[in-house]
Structure 1
Amino acid sequence: MARALINMPKTAKRGEIVEVRAMIAHPMETGYRIGPNGSNIPRDIIRRFACSYDGEEVFWADLHPAVSANPFIAFTLVASTSGVIEFTWTDDAGRTQTASATITVG
């Protein structure tokens, strides 16, 4: 897949609500566009996005062909413990792209 960008605070107070923003560079081809050779460009979309906080899934989204290229997802979570936040994007072919960020809770 492609490059993923994560934007979130590196530190937070216990119980604070933090905003997490995640974007991945991906064409999100629907399979309906015609390519330069006159045939359809094969479908290639990200089907699922999931976020785990300290090993527990805290957010997920199923994506569909109507989602634009380079999908951007923003959500909030409650900072409870210091740990790793893992992000996973899965496409039609079952390929995954992962990224992670660490948050320190004080």
Structure 2
Amino acid sequence: MSESSIRVQARLKDGITQVKALINHPMETGARKNAQGELVPAHFIEEVQCKHKDQLVMNAIWSGGISQNPYLSFNFKGGEVGDTLTVSWTDNLGKSDSVEAQIR
């Protein structure tokens, strides 16, 4: 992908890093029908991860029950201003994306 499907903000406050991520993804359950009455194939994110200093700080297992273009927010301890995090996802079709962001 030329432009990442993930937008991330990470801010440190009182020793806790708050990460906010918005992921551009269709998140189809496989149960919806299109205008012609045919089922739209399932296409959803299965796993989202965040790593800080090569350590996994967040892992989420998702299914088709998550809304289109999902928003995710979580906190972790141990980050410092200027540190880099990597947020990545993998979907049920084998597609994936990742992005790096600095803690501010």
What TM-score range do you get, normalising by the shorter chain? Answer: 0.7 to 0.9
Structure 1 partner of 2:84? 84
- In the TM superposition, residue 102 of structure 1 has moved relative to its aligned partner by 1.7
| CA 94–50 in structure 1, closer or farther in 2 if over 3 Å, else same | same
- In the TM superposition, residue 79 of structure 1 has moved relative to its aligned partner by 3.4
1:4 paired to 2:6: yes
TM-score w.r.t. length of structure 2: 0.85
Question: For residues 33-82 of structure 1, what are the alpha-carbon distances to aligned partners after superposition, in whole Å with 9 as ceiling and x for unaligned?
Answer: 11122210010000000000011111010011111111111100123455
> Are 2:17 and 2:79, in contact at CA under 8 Å, matched by a contact in 1?
no
* DSSP 3-state at the match of 2:56: strand
Distance 1:21 1:103 in 2: 11
Structure 1 partner of 2:101? 101
Provide runs of 4+ in structure 1 moved above 2 Å.
79-83
1:35 paired to 2:37: no
* DSSP 3-state at the match of 1:8: strand
Distance 1:85 1:62 in 2: 19
- Structure 2 regions of 5+ residues with no counterpart? none
* DSSP 3-state at the match of 1:18: strand
Task: Tell me the C-alpha RMSD between the 2 structures.
Answer: 2.0
TM-score w.r.t. length of structure 1: 0.84
Distance 1:47 1:80 in 2: 26
Distance 1:90 1:26 in 2: 11
2:35 aligned partner, one-letter code: P
- Structure 1 regions of 5+ residues with no counterpart? none
Q: Note the 1:14-29 alignment, pairs <5 A.
A: 16-29=15-28
Structure 2 partner of 1:50? 49
